């Protein structure tokens, strides 16, 4: 569905590439998470893919349409939720949705809600009912809470039934309950419409739900794959042990068939459930026992930290 080939962007007057030769593919219907710290190039990538920014070199296609040469076709099939809310506070909720629908050529222009086609009114009402805001549809946007605004943006972005929905840090600035309902809502949408979701976030727990995670830092891909694969790539669980008599310990580890490396202290690769049994089996008096069990979050920070050094 999305195909990137050596995509590169260098802003004018910048001394390094904001996006630096990135290539990957996203399958149709996939939930794809682009993960990275602030300034990693996530928003730049979304801007390029949604055609509001030209790449410096490289290319990308969405559903077979080139993002530079066929920008208009691409815009028609993507929806986007911006990092900063993009609702017009002077308008009512319904006007925000209506103007979007007309800009996307879904319905002809009409000066008021009552004059819009019945199909439009039905579509809006059913979406609003789904969100439980049907009664507030005619109220000004500024009376809506942050969570409600985000949901309305999602409703709006789905009006033209996009094949790919881009979400640029959609939960930034939301409290925990709003974040959760937003997430549940997105999952429902995805299940029902088969929309490809392209999410950027710097929260790891949000990315863990994804089919594929791509971690970028300083414009480069650091890690790519399923959450399980990223985990096994990034997270190394081991127990660090040492003894006065290192030779004896090494022999014993070999005899017990415990995978280890290092010439002392030794890194013994056991997962947390088997640590106790492994330690009990060792007779050599130990002078050091230290477990290393990073969370995915720690591992992510380690990777990102390593790259920025």
Question: Does residue 203 contact residue 213 with C-beta atoms inside 8 Å?
Answer: no
**Rounded Cα–Cα distance for residues 130 and 148 (Å):** 12
- Closest separation between CB of residue 52 and other proteins, Å? 6
Q: Is 223 in the site for other proteins (CB under 8 A)?
A: no
Number of residues that bind other proteins (CB under 8 A): 34
What is the rounded CA–CA span in Å between residue 186 and residue 120? Answer: 22
Does 105 sit near other proteins (CB under 8 A)? yes
What is residue 283's three-state secondary structure?
coil
CA gap 283, 302 in Å, rounded = 34
Q: Which letter does DSSP use for residue 285 in this model?
A: P
Given a contact cutoff of 8 angstroms between Cβ atoms, the answer to whether 92 and 139 are in contact is yes
* CB of 195 or CB of 212, closer to other proteins: 195
Examine residue 86 and tell whether it contacts other proteins (CB under 8 A): yes
Q: Are the CB atoms for 144 and 113 separated by under 8 Å?
A: no
CA-nearest of 158, 152, 157 to 138 is: 152
Based on the shown chain and the rule CB under 8 A, indicate whether residue 51 belongs to the binding site for other proteins.
yes
Q: Which two tokens stand for residue 63?
A: 């559903």
Q: Is 52 a binder of other proteins (CB under 8 A)?
A: yes
Report the distance separating Cα 99 and Cα 86, nearest Å: 12
Q: Does 17 bind other proteins (CB under 8 A)?
A: no
Question: In the structure encoding, which two tokens stand for residue 302, read together?
Answer: 């380690």
Of the pair 104, 183, the CB lying nearest other proteins is at 104
Shortest Cβ distance from residue 88 to other proteins (Å)? 4
Span from 29-37, 79-87, 191-199, 266-274 in contact with other proteins (CB under 8 A): 79-87
Residue 145 binds other proteins, judged by CB under 8 A: no
Closest CA to 107 of 93, 121, 87: 121
Selected from 28, 103, 119, 129, the binder of other proteins by CB under 8 A is 103
State which residue, 78 or 213, has the beta carbon closest to other proteins.
78
Residue 196 or residue 284: which is nearer to other proteins going by CB?
196
CA atoms of 113 and 16, how far apart (whole Å)? 49
Q: How far apart are CA 174 and CA 134, in angstroms?
A: 22
Choose between 54 and 226: whose C-beta lies nearer to other proteins.
54
The single residue among 5, 27, 54, 138 that binds other proteins, judged by CB under 8 A, is: 54
Cα→Cα distances 40→66, 120, 212, 216, 250, Å: 24, 40, 18, 6, 43
CB of residue 95 to other proteins, shortest distance in Å? 7
CB of 157 to other proteins, least distance (A): 9
- Is residue 119 close enough to count as binding other proteins by CB under 8 A? no
By CB under 8 A, residue 82 contacts other proteins: yes
Q: Supply φ then ψ for residue 76, to 5 degrees.
A: -65, -30
Stretch that binds other proteins, among 32-40, 47-55, 177-185, 211-219 (CB under 8 A): 47-55
Asked if 108 is part of the footprint of other proteins (rule: CB under 8 A), the reply reads yes
Asked if 61 is part of the footprint of other proteins (rule: CB under 8 A), the reply reads: no
Positions in the binding site for other proteins (CB under 8 A)? 11-12, 50-54, 72-73, 75-76, 78, 80, 82, 84-91, 95-96, 99-100, 102-105, 108-109, 111, 140
């Amino acid at each position: 569905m999305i195909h990137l080939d050596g995509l590169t962007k260098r802003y004018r007057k910048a001394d390094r590439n904001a996006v630096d030769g990135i290539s990957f593919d996203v399958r149709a219907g996939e939930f794809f998470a682009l993960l990275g710290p602030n300034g990693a190039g996530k928003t730049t990538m979304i801007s390029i893919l949604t055609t509001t920014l030209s790449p410096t070199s490289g290319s990308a296609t969405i559903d077979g349409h080139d993002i530079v040469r066929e920008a208009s076709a691409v815009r028609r099939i993507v929806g986007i939720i911006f990092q900063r809310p993009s609702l017009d506070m002077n308008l009512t909720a319904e006007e925000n949705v209506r103007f979007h629908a007309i800009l996307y050529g879904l319905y002809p222009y009409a000066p008021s809600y009552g004059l819009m086609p019945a199909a439009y009114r039905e579509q809006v009402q059913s979406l609003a009912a789904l969100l439980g805001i049907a009664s507030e549809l005619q109220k000004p946007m500024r009376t809506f809470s942050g969570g409600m605004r985000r949901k309305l943006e999602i409703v709006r972005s789905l009006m033209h039934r996009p094949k790919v929905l881009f979400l640029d840090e959609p939960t930034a600035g939301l409290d925990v309950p709003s974040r959760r309902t937003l997430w549940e809502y997105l999952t429902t949408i995805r299940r029902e419409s088969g929309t490809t979701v392209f999410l950027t976030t710097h929260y790891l727990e949000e990315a863990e739900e994804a089919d594929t995670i791509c971690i970028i830092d300083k414009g480069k891909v650091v890690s790519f794959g399923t959450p399980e694969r990223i985990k096994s790539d990034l997270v190394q669980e081991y127990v660090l042990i040492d003894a006065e008599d290192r030779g004896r310990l090494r022999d014993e580890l070999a005899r017990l068939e415990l995978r280890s490396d290092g010439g002392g202290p030794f890194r013994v690769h056991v997962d947390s459930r088997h640590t106790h049994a492994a330690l009990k089996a060792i007779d050599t008096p130990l002078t050091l026992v230290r477990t290393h069990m990073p969370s995915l979050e720690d591992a992510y920070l380690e990777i990102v930290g390593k790259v920025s050094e």
